[in-house]
Amino acid sequence: MEVRRFEVIIIGGGHAGVEAAWAAANLLPREQGEPPTVALVTSDPTKIGVMSCNPAIGGLAKGQLVREIDAMGGLMALAADATGIQFKVLNTSRGAAVHGPRAQCDKHEYARAVQRLIAARPEIEVIAGTVDGLIVEHGRVAGAVVGSGTTAATLEARAVVLTTGTFMRGLMHTGERRTPGGRFGEAGAEGISGSLRALGFELGRLKTGTPPRLRRGSIQWDSLPPALGDERPVAFSDLSGASEPSTRQPTPMPRSGGEVAPSLARFPVLAQVECRETRTTAAAHAAIRANLHRAPMYSGQIESIGPRYCPSIEDKVVRFAERESHTVFLEPESLSDDWVYCNGISTSLPEDVQDQIVRSMPGCARAEVLRYGYAVEYDMVRPHQILATGMTKRVEGLFLAGQINGTSGYEEAAAQGLVAGINAARLARGEGEFMLRRDQAYIGVLMDDLVTKTPVEPYRMFTSRAEHRLLLRADNAADRLTPLAESLGLLADDWLGAHRRQEFARREQDLARLRAAIARARVDGLPLSVAARRTEFGMADFRRALVGVDSAAGGLDGISDAIWATALADCKYEAYVIRQHAEVRRAIALETKRLPAAVDYRAITGLRPEARDALHRYRPATFGQAGRLEGVTPADVMLLSVVLGRGSNGAAPHSPGE
């Protein structure tokens, strides 16, 4: 059997896997003439970066995740900017803290962009194959076995990141028909679930779904109201900038080793396509009710739980029985084909019922279904068994990221991949763990939620989950996280890393110029920073107030719209931000205070039984995490602090595998 050695192995080429590989490559550069440091194992390399469901990146809270991934040197924003065909910032009627940048992408170009970015990294070797099992020695991961029989190969590494998506014992449902697989046309991964169970991991089962796709030429497109993108597209990445709508094709990217080409700096924006809006009808709802006995979710064929915040159309009809219709957005999937995504009618109903639903919608009486919707059931690892670094508590060096942890969405998966990739590389280099706090990033909120609240349904990020969301705006992601990325070494010593440093330095200089001007400007006798807090005070007023006010750096020419937006948001939120920073400072001492690893919480008699059970199950790393566990009250945390502080907890050490 062939044996090969890497620093880190990534299993899975989806959104979590590529971010993990990219982050690990940034931290584990390959010396001239040396072999690759990162292995990316996937059953089909042509499917790396595929958008298996909605062909869009970002949205409410998800857009903040993408901006943060970019600020940390990730690739998702670059690929989205390269291949976006409609850009829109959601929630602009509300404050900047909850704005959600979104890009509908050309799904084929997006996957190609990701594959070319990965191929441009000499540190990463893509290996085609299926992982048959993990190699674990004395409680530590040592590698993975790819393939079986005479073609089997052993890959050795100090760290392995498992990003299996919906493929672990994946089972697809359309009506009564069941097909093994994690995605249309692709087989599932059967061996990994057994390997994880054999290692003692507790697995769960979740469900997600996808809607039918239609042929655009068969839709009465012009009869339906348009759903337009923004007139001025806003990019995700600070390296991309914004541009006017264009019909240019994406800038070609290198397909093999070598530095990332300078052409990646300014991704052109593709033509801004128009989507269309339609709706379900009373006739469709009647057909759904009449066929619920054939719906896998209601017939008992599917026992796992689906995403509450992205329900199937049959679930909507049952849960919101008073509604006569539900909005459906018809979204072109690519500039190179005729496929249209039906956003709003995810379903696993039989094909004949899907035909009735589709053809009852306005504009779709003669619509041709190119692919029917289906549901996917898959195994996941209950995430109380991982740390906020992504590493499992049971096996040192084994990291989990993406839907395997019970999450839903490309962005949530990519964020976990970033964290897991960073920590896997740091472990391989003999360095300490890296975690983001809840007040630092939405990524920190996501990872903390996963390790303190095991999801009973696929987890989705919302702005309401972030108690410090006034600090965690999409527009200030770089200000919050790029210096941290630099200190970690995530900004690689290549052209792309150099360009990111240059852009961030320019951003800091321009913000300083603008803030110096703001400090001297007045409106109606008030300092501009105070006047800007008025609800009716907008960007036009802000710019007008600064006309003729020179900063110490000599004028405000050339400052981008994005930096103007950050400066205005800083003014509007200033009083609240000062208050939140004070709250954060008070909380950090408790948040970061470590809990001993060897504590038998069940032996602490002063704790309530519910608190003892929660602490034993989740084994939080810090007092802050303990306080957010379901079933743990502030009084429990206070008692825990007192008991552990005096060193007499009456507890016996527990083994790591307990």
DSSP notation for 383-449 = GGGB-TTSBBSSSBTEEE-SGGGTB-SHHHHHHHHHHHHHHHHHHHTTPPP----TTT-HHHHHHHH
Residue, of 612 and 415, whose pLDDT is higher: 415
Radius of gyration of the chain (CA): 25
| 619: in domain | yes
* Pair 524, 563 in one domain: yes
Which distant-in-sequence residues (6+ apart) come within 8 Å of 555 by Cβ? 513
> Model confidence over 135-181: pLDDT tens digits?
999 999 999 999 776 678 899 999 999 998 877 777 788 877 887 77
DSSP states along 282-329: HHHHHHHHHTGGGSHHHHSS--SB--TTS--HHHHHHHTTT-S--EEE
| 159: in domain | yes
Q: What is the pLDDT of residue 237?
A: 92
Q: What is the amino acid identity at position 383? A: P
Banded pLDDT at 299 (limits 50, 70, 90) = low
Mean pLDDT to the nearest integer, 618-622: 87
| 267: in domain | no
Mean pLDDT to the nearest integer, 510-515: 93
| 73: in domain | yes
Which domain, by its residues, includes 347?
A: 213-227+273-374
- Domain end residue (candidates: 346, 374, 402): 374
* Pair 188, 291 in one domain: no
- Domain end residue (candidates: 374, 409, 432): 374
DSSP 181: -
Q: Which tokens hold the place of 644? A: 């552990």
Mean pLDDT to the nearest integer, 355-384: 93
| 235: in domain | no
Average pLDDT, the chain: 86
* Pair 41, 135 in one domain: yes
Mean pLDDT to the nearest integer, 514-540: 93
Measured in whole angstroms, the distance separating CA 86 from the mean position of its chain's CA atoms is 20
Judged by average pLDDT, the poorest of 75-89, 145-159, 284-298, 551-565 is 551-565
Residue, of 255 and 364, whose pLDDT is higher: 364
| 263: in domain | no
Residue, of 296 and 149, whose pLDDT is higher: 296
* Pair 431, 537 in one domain: no
- State yes or no: pLDDT of 624 exceeds 90: no
Banded pLDDT at 422 (limits 50, 70, 90) = very high
Which distant-in-sequence residues (6+ apart) come within 8 Å of 658 by Cβ? none
The CATH number of whichever domain residue 103 belongs to comes to 3.50.50.60
Residue keyed to tokens 């007040």: 439
Residues β-bridged to residue 178: 173
* Pair 384, 327 in one domain: no
Q: Is 282 exposed, middle or buried (0-12, 13-18, 19+ CB in 10 A)?
A: exposed
What size, in residues, is the chain? 658
> Model confidence over 362-376: pLDDT tens digits?
999 999 999 999 888
Give the span between the Cα atoms of 484 and 104, in whole angstroms. Answer: 29
Q: Which tokens hold the place of 20? A: 């993990």
Q: Is residue 206 within 8 Å of residue 376, measured between CB atoms?
A: no
∠ CA 405-137-12, rounded to 5°: 35
- Domain end residue (candidates: 322, 350, 374): 374
Question: Of 117, 107, 137, 132, which Cα lies nearest the Cα of 22?
Answer: 117
| 262: in domain | no
* Pair 421, 472 in one domain: yes
Give the span between the Cα atoms of 355 and 214, in whole angstroms. Answer: 11
- State yes or no: pLDDT of 331 exceeds 90: yes
Q: Is residue 466 within 8 Å of residue 415, measured between CB atoms?
A: no
Q: What is the pLDDT of residue 655?
A: 31
| 237: in domain | no
Please give the share of the chain, as a percent, with pLDDT higher than 90. Answer: 57
Give the span between the Cα atoms of 307 and 209, in whole angstroms. Answer: 9
Give the span between the Cα atoms of 254 and 252, in whole angstroms. Answer: 7
Torsion region of 389: left, alpha or beta (phi above 0 gives left; psi -120 to 50 gives alpha) = alpha
Q: What is the pLDDT of residue 538?
A: 94
* Pair 68, 123 in one domain: yes
Mean pLDDT to the nearest integer, 226-239: 90
Give the span between the Cα atoms of 463 and 616, in whole angstroms. Answer: 30
* Pair 544, 570 in one domain: yes
The number of C-alpha atoms within 13 Å of 29 and in the hemisphere containing its C-beta is 11
Buried b (16+ CB within 10 A) or exposed e, 492-509: bebebbebbeebbeebee
* Pair 181, 45 in one domain: yes
| DSSP 3-state of 348 | coil
* Pair 478, 618 in one domain: no
Give the span between the Cα atoms of 35 and 19, in whole angstroms. Answer: 20
Give the span between the Cα atoms of 375 and 175, in whole angstroms. Answer: 9
Q: What is the pLDDT of residue 171?
A: 79
Banded pLDDT at 430 (limits 50, 70, 90) = very high
* Pair 299, 222 in one domain: yes
Banded pLDDT at 647 (limits 50, 70, 90) = low
The CATH number of whichever domain residue 311 belongs to comes to 2.40.30.260
Give the span between the Cα atoms of 648 and 626, in whole angstroms. Answer: 19
Q: Which tokens hold the place of 339? A: 């496929």
Q: Is 322 exposed, middle or buried (0-12, 13-18, 19+ CB in 10 A)?
A: exposed
Mean pLDDT to the nearest integer, 498-515: 92
- State yes or no: pLDDT of 529 exceeds 50: yes
Q: What is the pLDDT of residue 168?
A: 76
Backbone angles phi, psi at 583, to 5 degrees: -65, -40
Q: Is residue 468 within 8 Å of residue 584, measured between CB atoms?
A: yes
Strand locations in 1-148, DSSP E?
2-5, 8-11, 38-42, 56-58, 84-90, 100-105, 124-128, 131-137, 140-146
The CATH number of whichever domain residue 597 belongs to comes to 1.10.150.570
Which distant-in-sequence residues (6+ apart) come within 8 Å of 576 by Cβ? 470
Q: Is 630 exposed, middle or buried (0-12, 13-18, 19+ CB in 10 A)?
A: exposed
Number of domains in the chain: 4
> Model confidence over 59-110: pLDDT tens digits?
999 999 999 999 999 999 999 998 999 999 999 999 999 999 999 999 999 9
Residue, of 337 and 176, whose pLDDT is higher: 337
* Pair 411, 321 in one domain: no
Q: Is residue 450 within 8 Å of residue 392, measured between CB atoms?
A: no
Backbone angles phi, psi at 212, to 5 degrees: -70, 155
* Cβ atoms within 10 Å, residue 558: 9
Q: What is the pLDDT of residue 106?
A: 93
Banded pLDDT at 303 (limits 50, 70, 90) = low
Question: Of 60, 63, 110, 67, which Cα lies nearest the Cα of 85?
Answer: 110
Backbone angles phi, psi at 548, to 5 degrees: 85, -5
| DSSP 3-state of 155 | strand
Task: Check the CA dihedral 597-599-600-604 and report its sign.
Answer: negative
| Residue 310 CA: distances (Å) to CA of 314, 315, 466, 555 | 12, 10, 20, 48
Banded pLDDT at 268 (limits 50, 70, 90) = low
